[in-house]
């Protein structure tokens, strides 16, 4: 099994007084993931940037590590 680090950003927005998870976005580096999270948080209300290890064959994500959280968010990795 071969793992490769990837950077993802999860945006959040308010919908009917609930915090809703948006579509995952991919970033090219840790710095760009943090910048993207900040930008999305400014527009939508919140975002979290993570570094994950992706298994190349199956595409499964493992070992999420929080890079940054901006605005109003919740820990989606704790619910998995």
Q: Encode pLDDT of 60-80 as tens digits.
A: 999 999 999 999 999 887 755
How many domains in the chain? 1
Q: Encode pLDDT of 26-57 as tens digits.
A: 999 999 999 999 999 999 999 999 999 999 88
13-24 CB burial, b ≥16 within 10 A, e <16: beeeeeeeebee
56-75 CB burial, b ≥16 within 10 A, e <16: eeeeebeebeebbbbbebee
**Which residue segment(s) compose the domain that 37 sits in?**
3-79
> So what's the pLDDT on residue 1?
73
pTM of the model: 0.89
Stretch 13-32: mean pLDDT, rounded?
95
> So what's the pLDDT on residue 80?
53
> So what's the pLDDT on residue 79?
58
């Amino acid at each position: 099994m071969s793992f490769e680090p990837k950077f993802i950003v999860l945006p959040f927005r308010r919908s009917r007084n609930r915090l809703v998870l948006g579509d995952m976005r991919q970033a090219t580096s840790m710095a760009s993931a943090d910048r993207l999270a900040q930008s999305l948080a400014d527009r939508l209300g919140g975002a979290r940037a993570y570094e994950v290890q992706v298994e190349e064959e199956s595409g499964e994500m493992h070992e999420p590590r929080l890079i940054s959280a901006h605005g109003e968010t919740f820990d989606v990795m704790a619910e998995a």
